[in-house]
Chain A
Amino acid sequence: LAKTTQPISMDSYEGQEVNITCSHNNIATNDYITWYQQFPSQGPRFIIQGYKTKVTNEVASLFIPADRKSSTLSLPRVSLSDTAVYYCLITGGGNKLTFGTGTQLKVEL
C-alpha cells in the first residue's frame, strides 16, 4: 500500500476554509484516496473518497491532480466542531486500511 505524508498539525479560525494536503507518491492505478475524521475517544468517521479530479459532498471537497501523487481535503467555513484528527488513506482493492498519524486540526474562535 502506498505511504502517505500529511502535516502533523494545522490551526485555523472559525469561518475559514481549511485545506489539508496529503502526498502519496507511490499510489497505484487501482488505488482510491479516502479521508477519515476522528474526534478524541471516538472511532474514525468516513468523510470522502475519490479517484481523480474533484469530488464534493455535503461536508468536504477532495481535489486530486492528474498525476494523483497528492490530494487536498478542503473543509469550507470550519467551525469549532471541526477540531479533530484527519487521516488520509490510500485504499486498494483489498480489505485492509492503513492509518498514519493524521493531521490534528485545531479551530479557534
Chain B
Amino acid sequence: DGGITQSPKYLFRKEGQNVTLSCEQNLNHDAMYWYRQDPGQGLRLIYYSQIVNDFQKGDIAEGYSVSREKKESFPLTVTSAQKNPTAFYLCASKSGHGAYEQYFGPGTRLTVT
C-alpha cells in the first residue's frame, strides 16, 4: 500500500525543546517537501529536497532543519529558535521534475507550550 506516512499525528512539547517530525514515503519519489499550515491559512513551504543529500530552503525556513540521507525519508526538526512552532505540519512528495502532482501525508499537529 503506497503512500506517505507522518508520525506522530499529535505531538506536544515544552518551549525550548527541539522536536523531530517523521516523514516516510514508499512511492519512490525523488522530491519531498515540508509545509506548515496555521489556522485558516494556506500552506507555506519550509524546506524541500529534490534528491538525496540535497535540500533547499523554502519561504519560512528559519528555526527549522532537515536532512535527506535516504530517498524514503525526510525528517523535519523544529528547533527552539522557531518563535511560533505550534502549527499543522504537512509532508509531501513528487515523482520528479515536470510532474506537478504532490502527494501529501496525513500531517502532524505540533503544540508547544
Contact = CB atoms under 8 A, between A and B. Distances in A.
B2 interface: no
A100 B90 CA distance: 15
B41 A43 contact: no
B48 A96 contact: yes
Interface string B88-113: 10111010011011111111010000
A72 interface: no
B106 A43 contact: yes
Contact of A87 (B31, B42, B44, B90): B42
A41 B97 contact: no
Given A41-B109, A46-B102, A96 B45 contact: yes
Interface of B: 4, 31, 33, 35, 40-45, 48, 50, 58, 88, 90-92, 94, 97-98, 100-107, 109
Interface residues of A, number: 20
B40 A43 contact: no
A99 B42 contact: yes
Nearest to B104: A43
Given A43-B92, A87-B42, A102-B42, A97 B102 contact: yes
Contacts of B106: 42-43
B104 A44 contact: yes
Contacts of B100: 32, 34, 49, 91
Contact of A101 (B4, B40, B92): B40
A32 B98 CA distance: 11
Nearest to A97: B102
A51 B64 CA distance: 35
Contacts of B103: 46
A49 to B, nearest CB: 6
Contacts of A41: 88, 107, 109
Contacts of B97: 93, 95
Nearest to B49: A95
Interface string A38-80: 0001111110010000000000000000000000000000000
